[in-house]
Amino acid sequence: MDRRLFLSAAACTLFAPCAALAGDEIRLRDLYNKDQSFSDLALGLDGQSIDVSGFMAPPLKAETQFFVLTKRPLATCPFCETEAEWPDDIVAIYARRTITPIPFNVPIIATGTLALGTYTDPDLGFVSRVRLTDARFARA
Q: What tens digit of pLDDT does each residue of 82-138 get? A: 555 556 678 999 999 999 999 999 999 999 999 999 999 998 888 889 999 999 999
Task: Give the CATH number for residue 88.
Answer: 2.40.50.140
Instruction: Name the strand (E) or helix (H) holding 134.
Output: strand 127-139
pTM more than 0.95: no
- pLDDT tier at 9 (50, 70, 90 boundaries)? very low
Q: 58: domain range?
A: 3-139
The domain tally of the chain equals: 1
